[in-house]
């Protein structure tokens, strides 16, 4: 029986290890994970599909969960990009830096938060103050707004939602949501709840509007891409993608794609406002 030289065996093992390391590094370079905002989700999914069609060697995974979940995933290094429909909070920045992460946000689109009701609801318009009073519990019946003598079913987003944070700031102005409000985990869930309930009211991103719900004019302004761009519609916000440091590698390529002319067309196609 012929024995191999121990040095040869060690060198062979080192070579195998280095080859495996190169393979795994190459795999990581071709993989991108996005987690977070359900508002940003349609943009991420559509852009990922188109980007992978152009670059078949790349694998992009997109998950929802809410803006807070996305930023937590960036902090825990389980996501390359955190999707967020609100600016990152000071306490989240602190948590990032404690883990050696420097969060940098890229604005990928603009959005309006539409106040929606069932299509059978006769109400066409509300003021911002009326919406606030509905959500804080001061107004409880549609008859107080010129509608039928029926209780208003309030649908809201949960506390992990960036949309909820923006709604709380721009509409509630510090008030608490009435305790019997139905709190749901996504824009889609809000739209579905309102579509199934003639007495319901909810709020969703522009990209989730459909014939299944009716968007109300607020203070005389229709929620639309045009009124968001002009600044006339007041319940509006930027949409972000956060990375650890300035975007680089595959993350930068993907963000550059979203901000390209082709990417802007995709953003508009899914119902949001491209950034210039």
Quick check: 34 and 44 in contact, CB under 8 A? yes
- Identify whether residues 102 and 39 lie together within a single domain: yes
- Identify whether residues 140 and 181 lie together within a single domain: yes
136 within some domain: yes
Residue 160 confidence (pLDDT): 86
Q: Annotate 152-193 with DSSP letters as a single string.
A: -EEEEE-TT-HHHHHHIIIIITTPPPPTT-EEESSHHHHHHH
1 within some domain: no
- Identify whether residues 157 and 20 lie together within a single domain: no
- Identify whether residues 78 and 116 lie together within a single domain: no
| pLDDT 10s digits, 123-164 | 999 999 999 999 999 999 999 999 999 999 999 999 889 999
| pLDDT 10s digits, 208-230 | 999 999 999 999 999 999 999 99
Structural domain for 18, as ranges: 6-110+239-269
Q: Which residues touch 19 (CB under 8 Å, ≥6 apart)? A: none
- Identify whether residues 29 and 89 lie together within a single domain: yes
Residue 185 to residue 189: CA distance in whole angstroms: 7
- Identify whether residues 125 and 180 lie together within a single domain: yes
90 within some domain: yes
Q: Is the pLDDT of residue 68 over 60?
A: yes
- Identify whether residues 82 and 147 lie together within a single domain: no
| pLDDT 10s digits, 84-126 | 999 999 999 999 999 999 999 999 999 999 999 999 999 999 9
Q: Is the pLDDT of residue 16 over 50?
A: no
Residue 77 to residue 66: CA distance in whole angstroms: 17
Residue 108 to residue 83: CA distance in whole angstroms: 10
Q: Is the pLDDT of residue 15 over 60?
A: no
Average pLDDT over the chain, rounded to an integer: 92
Taking the model in full, what pTM does it have?
0.84
In the chain, the number of structural domains is: 2
Q: Is the pLDDT of residue 53 over 60?
A: yes
Quick check: 197 and 121 in contact, CB under 8 A? no
- Identify whether residues 88 and 140 lie together within a single domain: no
Residue 12 confidence (pLDDT): 55
Residue 83 to residue 186: CA distance in whole angstroms: 14
Residue 254 to residue 256: CA distance in whole angstroms: 5
Q: Is the pLDDT of residue 165 over 60?
A: yes
Higher pLDDT, residue 22 or 67 = 67
- Identify whether residues 72 and 10 lie together within a single domain: yes
276 within some domain: no
275 within some domain: no
- Identify whether residues 220 and 248 lie together within a single domain: no
274 within some domain: no
Using CB atoms within 10 Å of the CB of residue 147, give its burial: 0 to 12 exposed, 13 to 18 middle, 19+ buried: middle
H helix or E strand, kind and range, residue 9: helix 6-29
CATH number for position 205? 3.40.190.10
- Identify whether residues 37 and 150 lie together within a single domain: no
Residue 253 confidence (pLDDT): 98
- Identify whether residues 231 and 244 lie together within a single domain: no
């Amino acid at each position: 029986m012929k024995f191999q030289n121990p040095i040869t065996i060690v060198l062979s093992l080192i070579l195998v290890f280095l080859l495996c390391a190169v393979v795994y590094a190459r795999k990581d370079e071709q993989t991108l994970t996005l987690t977070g905002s359900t508002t940003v989700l349609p943009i991420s999914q559509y852009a990922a599909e188109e980007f992978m069609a152009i670059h078949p060697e790349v694998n992009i995974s997109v998950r929802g969960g809410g803006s807070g979940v996305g930023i937590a995933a960036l902090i825990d290094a389980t996501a390359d990009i955190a999707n967020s429909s609100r600016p990152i909070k000071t306490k989240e920045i602190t948590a990032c830096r404690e883990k050696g992460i420097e969060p940098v946000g890229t604005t990928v689109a603009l959005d309006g938060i539409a106040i929606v009701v069932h299509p059978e609801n006769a109400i066409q318009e509300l003021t911002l103050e009326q919406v606030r009073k509905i959500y804080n519990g001061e107004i409880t019946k549609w008859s107080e707004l010129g509608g039928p003598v029926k209780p208003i079913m309030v649908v809201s987003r949960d506390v992990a939602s960036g949309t909820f944070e923006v709604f709380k700031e721009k509409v509630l102005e510090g008030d608490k949501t009435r305790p019997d409000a139905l709190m749901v985990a996504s824009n889609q869930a809000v739209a579905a709840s309102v579509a199934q309930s003639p007495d319901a009211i909810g709020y969703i991103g522009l990209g989730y509007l459909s014939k299944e719900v009716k968007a109300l004019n607020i203070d005389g302004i229709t929620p639309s891409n045009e009124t968001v761009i002009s600044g006339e519609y007041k319940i509006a916000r930027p949409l972000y993608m956060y990375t650890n440091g300035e975007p680089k590698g595959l993350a930068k390529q993907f963000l550059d794609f979203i901000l390209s002319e082709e990417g802007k067309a995709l953003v508009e196609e899914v119902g949001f406002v491209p950034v210039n």
